[in-house]
Amino acid sequence: MAQAQNRWLAQHRDRGGRMTDVTQSIIARGDLAHLALFLWATGASALLGYVLKELSAANKRFDELVLQLALFNRRFGDDK
């Protein structure tokens, strides 16, 4: 198993050294599951942040629409 990891590391180091030292360290120790979990958690957190930002913007737009409808009804509404 260690030979396969070392061979994999050697192959990917030759591609211009794009792997970071942290990634190399994780792979060398066999903690690929931890790396995958970290990447998943990071991606999920980033997606949650994006969704919350978009939801907040949509809520502001909806509030503006309700305000404009209230103003329209106040101006042109039927006074009973």
Map out the domains of the chain as residue ranges. 1-30, 32-80
79: left (phi over 0), alpha (psi -120 to 50) or beta: beta
Tell me what pLDDT residue 26 has: 72
pLDDT score recorded for residue 80: 59
Residue type, 4: A
Would you state the pLDDT for residue 27? 74
Low pLDDT (below 50) residues in the chain: none
Q: What confidence score (pLDDT) does residue 25 get?
A: 75
Report DSSP state, residue 13: H
Indicate if the alpha-carbon torsion angle 7, 12, 14, 18 is positive or negative: negative
* Structure confidence at residue 59 (pLDDT): 98
